[in-house]
Amino acid sequence: MITRISSEKLPELLQQISEQEKLYIPVDKSDKLSVYEEYAPGKVMSLKLNTLRSAKDFFFPQVQPMAKFRMEGKKIEVMDQRTETEDYCIFGVRACDVRSFDVLDRVFLADPVDTYYEDRRKHATVVSFACSEPSETCFCHSFGIDAAKPDGDARMWIANGNVYLEGITEKGEKLLQSLDLAALGAAADDAAVQEVEAEQQRVHEIQKRMPLYSLKPTDNRDKELEIFNAPIWKELSDKCLGCGSCTFVCPTCQCFDIEDFDSGHGVERYRCWDSCMYKDFTMMAAGTPRKTQLERFRQRFMHKLVYYPIRNDGIYSCVGCGRCLRRCPIHMNIVKVMKAMEEDA
């Protein structure tokens, strides 16, 4: 059942959640920029479409301590740096970012399981936030994502001066049941369901007028080598700067590097995001396996649109969030690659 409360009660709702466990919400830092921060009284949840970096940061941080090594003579002591022991809630995650968790799960939770990712993932409760005003750079529907009905443990809509809440998983139901929604004037009735359905229909109508509404990925799983050798990569890659901006805002990119540092009191090991767009990525003793910009550019988009679907039942490693469209300094993005693939096919 969908529960309705007045949008004026949203701060009280957030306060109730924060009193039970750590709560993270998107917060505006400027007119165009929002980021996730831990909730504190007085912080206002951002209603912007997307945060600068996606919520994947909670499970796969940009910089993550992995271990410390202390050496005394020939004796080496290894100290685990994981601290994920408390439950927490990520509130206000958009549908595209929620889908990205499924993409990442298939990588980090497949055998052998990445226990660093697993520890963070299992302690989180995700409350998604349905979109009300999709952007012109959005194309999540191209990958079967419903921006008006996001997945997650629980989901939320804001419309008609109200906040609507619905539990989806056992985690989400447990969170909502633990709250004193009656104190917030909550109501759960057929009218709330009808109001949400009307809001979903309104958003779907907006999407139909979007410039990327007709964009659909081409299924190239049976043409892997043909696409790999296609002439389109030369023209596309020539325009790319190789700056890697797209990889650092992408909610599904998984490339990382591991570095050891001598702190003077031992050795500290960190994992940090990396980019397949950089020539030193996967550098080996014999050199880099992808020596040209064309090879690196092709690797990025072949992985998202061909390699990943081949290995994951046709699921693409893109969720149509549009961050790369907004961030690329020369507007060379995955949409242009998808269109080129379609024309080539």
- In this prediction, residues 153-170 reach a mean pLDDT of 97
- Read off φ and ψ for residue 243, nearest 5 degrees: -75, -25
pLDDT greater than 90 at residue 288 = no
For the chain, give the percent of residues with pLDDT over 70: 100
Residue 214 in domain: no
Q: Which residues pair with 127 in a beta bridge?
A: 91, 154
155 vs 80, more confident = 155
Q: What is the pLDDT of residue 82?
A: 81
pLDDT greater than 80 at residue 307 = yes
- In this prediction, residues 62-67 reach a mean pLDDT of 92
- In this prediction, residues 242-254 reach a mean pLDDT of 94
Taking the CB of residue 125, how many other CB atoms lie within 10 A of it?
20
Place of tokens 């050496």: 71
182 shares a domain with 34: yes
329 shares a domain with 250: yes
Residue 98 in domain: yes
Residue 218 in domain: no
Q: What is the pLDDT of residue 169?
A: 97
Q: What is the pLDDT of residue 286?
A: 76
281 shares a domain with 180: no
Query: For 298-336, what is the HEC assignment?
Result: HHHHHHHHHHHHHHCCCCCCCCCCCHHHHHCCCCCCHHH
Q: Is the peptide bond before 26 cis (omega within 30 degrees of 0)?
A: no
DSSP class of residue 126 equals E
Pairwise CA distance, residues 18 & 21, whole Å: 5
102 shares a domain with 157: yes
Amino acid occupying residue 190 = D
- Residues 252-272 have pLDDT tens digits of 999 999 999 988 878 999 999
pLDDT greater than 80 at residue 344 = no
152: confidence class by pLDDT, cuts 50, 70, 90: very high
310 shares a domain with 240: yes
48 shares a domain with 156: yes
Q: What is the pLDDT of residue 345?
A: 65
pTM, two decimal places: 0.92
204 shares a domain with 229: no
Q: What angle do helix axes 95-108 and 115-122 make, rounded to 10 degrees? A: 140
CB-facing half-sphere around the CA of 165: CA atoms within 13 A? 30
Average pLDDT, the chain: 93
Closest alpha carbon to 150 in 137, 171, 165: 165
Question: Which residues are CB-neighbours of 26 under 8 A, at least 6 positions away?
Answer: 34, 35, 36, 45, 46, 48, 51, 92
- Residues 172-230 have pLDDT tens digits of 999 999 999 999 999 999 999 999 999 999 999 999 999 999 999 989 899 999 999 99
140 shares a domain with 182: yes
**Structurally, how many domains does the chain consist of?**
2
329 shares a domain with 241: yes
Residue by residue, DSSP assigns 259-274 as: EEEE-SSSEEEEEEE-
Question: Where are the strands (E) in the chain, listed by range?
Answer: 3-6, 22-28, 34-38, 63-72, 75-80, 88-93, 124-129, 154-159, 162-167, 256-262, 267-273
Question: Which residues are CB-neighbours of 174 under 8 A, at least 6 positions away?
Answer: none
- Residues 22-34 have pLDDT tens digits of 999 999 998 888 9
For the chain, give the percent of residues with pLDDT over 90: 83
230 shares a domain with 168: no
Contact 104, 60 (CB under 8 A): yes
Q: What is the pLDDT of residue 266?
A: 85
- In this prediction, residues 136-147 reach a mean pLDDT of 96
Full residue range of the structural domain in which residue 336 is found: 224-344
Q: What is the pLDDT of residue 184?
A: 95
Closest alpha carbon to 192 in 162, 212, 154: 162
266 shares a domain with 175: no
pLDDT greater than 90 at residue 99 = yes
